[in-house]
Amino acid sequence: MAVATHVAAHGERAHPSPLRLNRIGLWLFFFSESIIFGLLLSARFFLEGIHQDHVDQVLGLWITIVLLLSSVTAFTAETAMEKGRQRLCQWMLLATIALGLAFAGGVAYEWKTAHFSREEIFGTVFFTMTGIHASHVVSGIVFLVLAWNLARQGRFTPQSHWGVSGTVMYWHFVDVVWVFFYPALYLVDS
């Protein structure tokens, strides 16, 4: 009370809310992650001898569309929670998990059927970039399962659902990374 009175009297700024701190912290985390992914991307363009016919173009397009669809379901889950539609949120989280698993399965299939090895320059770049990205997809799926379980227990409300929002933001970040990785690995030649 005394602090609040002091703040009001002297016009000083109050401390940011825990929600705002959560958001700022998560964005700082995204920034630090972007440096890692940016370095991988620059390595891909620095190294020579990469041609797009080495990879399965159709599979690449399909898993990209699957990840894009998962962003739509994740967005719907968060918006549904904001609107108080708990059941829709839970179903959309489940759909996001399923699409995330489909994406991870597609990457695993690409690894299994790849015509190049990790000893080659392109193999080194491809397996490193897709491997680190896939590890983020898998951790995102774990977060989504945790968020879904908490949502199922009724732990979130339209007023308080940072668990869903933070998880969905992380999932969108994984999608943003793939927005740059997909053309770099599959579409850009040389």
Partner 1 sequence: MGAFQKGYVVAVVLAIVTVAEYFFATGLSSDDARFAGLAAAAVVKAWLIVQYFMHIARVWRAEEAH
Residues at the site binding partner 1, with contacts judged by CB under 8 A = 17, 19-20, 23-24, 27, 52, 57, 61, 64-65, 68, 71-72, 74-76, 79, 82-83, 157-162, 165, 168-169, 172-173, 175-176, 179-180, 183, 186-190
**Smaller CB distance to partner 1: residue 17 or 113?**
17
CA distance 36 to 93: 27
**Smaller CB distance to partner 1: residue 25 or 131?**
25
Minimum distance from CB of 34 to partner 1 (Å)?
10
**Smaller CB distance to partner 1: residue 72 or 118?**
72
- The SS3 call for residue 100 is helix
**Smaller CB distance to partner 1: residue 111 or 180?**
180
Minimum distance from CB of 61 to partner 1 (Å)?
5
**Smaller CB distance to partner 1: residue 75 or 111?**
75
Minimum distance from CB of 57 to partner 1 (Å)?
7
Minimum distance from CB of 89 to partner 1 (Å)?
12
- For 11, the token pair is 């016009």
C-alpha closest to that of 169 among 148, 140, 126? 140
C-alpha closest to that of 108 among 134, 139, 141, 142? 134
Which residue stretches of 114-184 are H helix? 121-152, 162-182
Query: Taking phi first (over 0 means left), then psi (-120 to 50 degrees means alpha), and beta for anything else, what does residue 14 get?
Result: beta
C-alpha closest to that of 94 among 144, 132, 136, 48? 144
Residue 9, CA distances (Å) to 4, 12, 58 in order? 8, 8, 65
Minimum distance from CB of 115 to partner 1 (Å)?
18
